[in-house]
Amino acid sequence: MNFESELKKGRFAVGECARCHRVSWPPSESCSNCFGELVWRQVREPGIIIECSAIDGKAFAMAEFEGMIRILGSTSEKNLEPGQKVKITSCDFDQTPKFTFAMV
């Protein structure tokens, strides 16, 4: 189980260290703090919008989860603003991680 394979199944998983309980972000093979073994689990929602923008009529947003995990995603929401709570409605991996967000 790892970050990419979980994304392809539509699950956004993060690796939490079994020893020091820190989440390793960006994803890595072992804990970036103590090199301990990672336990993969679902990210905790909701996240918070950090910034949003629109390119060619499509809306994109940077969202932060668990106070440290920042991911870029697309959204069909028209009125997203920084501070808005969002959940991940889909995720995939196609060369890079792909996420979509919706308001909570």
- Residues of the shown chain interacting with Zn ion in the complex, contacts defined by CB under 5 A: 17, 19-20, 31, 33-34, 36
Nearer to Zn ion by C-beta: 24 or 75?
Answer: 24
Instruction: Compare residues 17 and 49 and give the one whose CB is closer to Zn ion.
Output: 17
Rank residues 16 and 77 by Cβ distance to Zn ion and give the closer one: 16
Name the phi and psi angles at 31, rounded to 5.
Answer: -60, 130
C-beta of 32: minimal distance to Zn ion in Å? 8
Q: Name which of 4, 27, 26 is nearest 94 in CA terms.
A: 4
Respond yes or no on whether the N-terminal peptide bond of residue 27 is cis (omega within 30° of 0): no
